[in-house]
Amino acid sequence: MSRDPAPLLLTMGDACGIGPEICVAAWLREGRGDARVVGDVEVMRRALRLLGLALPVARLERADEAAPPDCLPVWEPPGLAEGLGGRLVNEPLGQVSARAGAAAARCIEAAVREQQAGRSRALVTAPIHKEALHAAGIAHPGHTEMLQALCALPDGRLPPVRMMLANEELRVVLVTIHVSLRRALDLISTDGVLETLRITDAALRRFGIAAPRIAVAGLNPHAGEGGLFGDEELLQIAPAVARARAEGLDARGPFAPDTVFMRARHAPGHPGEFDAVVAMTHDHGLIPVKYLGVEQGVNVTLGLPLVRTSPDHGTAFDIAGRGLADPSSMCAAIAMARRLGAG
């Protein structure tokens, strides 16, 4: 077979969840021609059956290998099947499985190595399950932290990364992510907020926004109300905004977190005031984006030396194997990865 230049790689996610199903459905709708699935061949064949599709699977020898027309191209990383102590396809759907967690991690690691070697131009990751990762002995709580570790600098330092969740109406970047709320409060610092603003500005410019407008959401009610309801805005957040502005970034705030997302939202007849909002904690930032609809939401990891996107939802164990999963967010993630990977 001939070799295609730098395809998109779609990791299958947790084999016991909806990841394999949405990989298949999204590949059919959005990924034909330049996307390859990284995963267990038998699991992907099962996903095709679950969707009532008779499409054959082409087992690729290399991740960047071309596949025959009208075949689902699947690259199974070496040792994936035999290294798990049994057939992954036999793991029950809709349940936490250490074997599925280990397989998901191996697929991510293999896909990252392919992109680092120049054999892929972007990575799209189907959902993984944090409990399954933990059961498999994987120390990372999620994709973001795993990817950060895989992209460690030669001296061992981790690249500063941030999570952005985006749809057609709103972009939100988080200062803190997968930690407890109590721990997140301790992690908010002037340097951390400033670093987030720098990463956000650079990413928006890469997206084609020449002069990004960034709003900063406060942490406390009414952004602290001048220190009456908390002093993080005065001591950490406002100084970071001032330093960012001194560097030439169009950063503003901190604004009351209960209204800034409405101001930033791009809707028919309502052009948003900002191109992105920087939020201090996971739920502060993600609730408003997800409320607008997870079907078009895309998670983008900012700050990595590679392109990575993912859908804005989890493994959906409750509907796994029933053919009900909506691939729209996975399709949006593929489209976003294709745009970013071309830059």
Judge whether 76 lies within some domain. Answer: yes
- Residues 24 and 154 reside in one and the same domain: yes
Residue 105 CA, distance from chain mean position: 14
Q: Are 99 and 4 in contact (CB under 8 A)?
A: no
- What is the span of the domain harbouring residue 41? 8-159+305-341
- Residues 172 and 204 reside in one and the same domain: yes
Spatial distance between the Cα atoms of 50 and 323, rounded to a whole number of angstroms: 6
Judge whether 110 lies within some domain. Answer: yes
Judge whether 295 lies within some domain. Answer: no
Judge whether 294 lies within some domain. Answer: no
Could you tell me the CATH number of the domain that includes residue 227? 3.40.718.10
- Residues 31 and 133 reside in one and the same domain: yes
- Residues 148 and 174 reside in one and the same domain: no
Q: Are 98 and 15 in contact (CB under 8 A)?
A: no
Token pair 């099962």 in the structure block, residue: 46
Name the E strands within the chain: 8-11, 35-38, 57-60, 72-75, 122-125, 162-166, 171-174, 213-217, 250-255, 276-279, 298-302, 308-311
Judge whether 53 lies within some domain. Answer: yes
H or E element that contains 121: none
Judge whether 15 lies within some domain. Answer: yes
The residue type found at 36 is R
Q: Are 307 and 123 in contact (CB under 8 A)?
A: yes
Number of domains, the chain: 2
- Residues 283 and 314 reside in one and the same domain: no
Judge whether 151 lies within some domain. Answer: yes
- Residues 205 and 142 reside in one and the same domain: no
**How would you write the pLDDT of the chain (343 residues) with one tens digit per residue?**
444 568 999 999 999 999 999 999 999 998 888 999 999 999 999 999 999 999 999 999 999 998 888 899 999 998 886 656 568 999 999 999 999 999 999 999 999 999 999 999 999 999 999 999 999 999 888 888 899 999 998 898 999 999 999 988 999 999 998 889 999 999 999 999 999 999 999 999 988 899 999 999 999 989 878 888 888 989 999 999 999 999 999 999 999 999 999 999 998 888 999 999 999 999 999 899 888 876 778 999 999 999 999 998 899 999 999 989 999 999 999 998 998 876 5
- Contacts for 170 with CB less than 8 Å, ≥ 6 apart: 261, 264, 265, 266, 272, 277, 288, 289, 292
- Residues 253 and 331 reside in one and the same domain: no
Q: What is the pLDDT of residue 230?
A: 86
- Residues 249 and 182 reside in one and the same domain: yes
Judge whether 298 lies within some domain. Answer: no
Q: What is the pLDDT of residue 293?
A: 74
Whose CA is closest to 49, among 39, 38, 41?
A: 41
Q: What is the pLDDT of residue 204?
A: 93
Alpha-carbon separation of residue 313 from 129, 222, 295 (angstroms): 11, 30, 8
Q: What is the pLDDT of residue 1?
A: 42
- Residues 26 and 149 reside in one and the same domain: yes
Alpha-carbon separation of residue 99 from 104, 126, 135, 279, 324 (angstroms): 9, 17, 8, 35, 24
* Backbone CA torsion sign across 129, 185, 278, 190: negative
Spatial distance between the Cα atoms of 322 and 326, rounded to a whole number of angstroms: 11
Report the DSSP beta bridge partners of residue 311. 298
- Contacts for 167 with CB less than 8 Å, ≥ 6 apart: 289, 292, 293, 296, 297, 298, 312, 332
Whose CA is closest to 86, among 56, 42, 22?
A: 42
- Residues 44 and 86 reside in one and the same domain: yes
Q: What is the pLDDT of residue 265?
A: 94
- Contacts for 33 with CB less than 8 Å, ≥ 6 apart: none
Structure tokens at 316: 């959906």
- Residues 15 and 144 reside in one and the same domain: yes
- Residues 134 and 266 reside in one and the same domain: no
Residue 190 CA, distance from chain mean position: 25
Alpha-carbon separation of residue 202 from 193, 212, 242 (angstroms): 14, 9, 18
